[in-house]
Amino acid sequence: MEYFERTIEPFQITFSAGQWYLVGFCKERNDYRRFELVRIKNLKMGENFEKKDISNEEIQEIIRNSYLTRGITVTLKFAHKMGEQLTEYFKKEKITKTHNNQYIVVDQFPYEEGLLKFILSFGKECEILEPCYLRNELQKYIKTLLLPYND
């Protein structure tokens, strides 16, 4: 995995979709961003900064709009046994129970490297229904995962 150095003016720490995040102003992107805490390496204290006069709601809207501009709509199907856990990862209004007791989640996701890994974290209990190109990308990704095990 490739890491990048960022200078962040922290705003808050949040918990969402099973992960802890640092929300702050990224000087490199000149915008507010969310960073997964588990991905932060070599954290260093920087220079003091003056807190910007902005509300939590405004920051959430900025981040939401950022995701939408680089996001895609994904439809996922989950096995029945995943039902209770889904609200840990998705908003209730994004989850629909089907007539055969499976679950469908339709949501926006940033189209980036971590999306396939996130989907794979649900194992065989999750299937990408749409978009088709993401299904194909996942198939290719799984084949590359298997390469070291082809004896």
What are the C-alpha distances in Å from 44 to residues 10, 21, 26, 29, 51? 12, 17, 15, 19, 18
Q: Is 79 a domain residue?
A: yes
Give the model's pLDDT for residue 98.
Answer: 95
Give the model's pLDDT for residue 109.
Answer: 86
Give the model's pLDDT for residue 79.
Answer: 95
Give the model's pLDDT for residue 1.
Answer: 52
Kindly give, in sequence order, each residue whose CB lies less than 8 Å from that of residue 136, ignoring residues fewer than 6 positions away.
Answer: none
- C-beta separation of 115 from 128 below 8 A: no
Q: Are residues 50 and 108 in the same domain?
A: no
What is the full per-residue pLDDT of the chain (151 aa) written as tens digits? 566 788 999 998 988 767 888 999 988 888 888 888 888 888 888 888 888 888 888 888 888 787 777 789 999 999 999 988 999 899 999 999 999 999 999 998 888 778 899 999 999 999 999 999 999 999 999 999 999 998 7
Q: Are residues 28 and 43 in the same domain?
A: yes
Give the model's pLDDT for residue 103.
Answer: 97
Domain total of the chain: 2
Gap between the Cα atoms of 19 and 33, Å rounded: 15
Q: Are residues 143 and 95 in the same domain?
A: yes
Give the model's pLDDT for residue 17.
Answer: 67
Q: Is 1 a domain residue?
A: no
Q: Are residues 59 and 85 in the same domain?
A: no
Domain residue limits at 17: 8-69
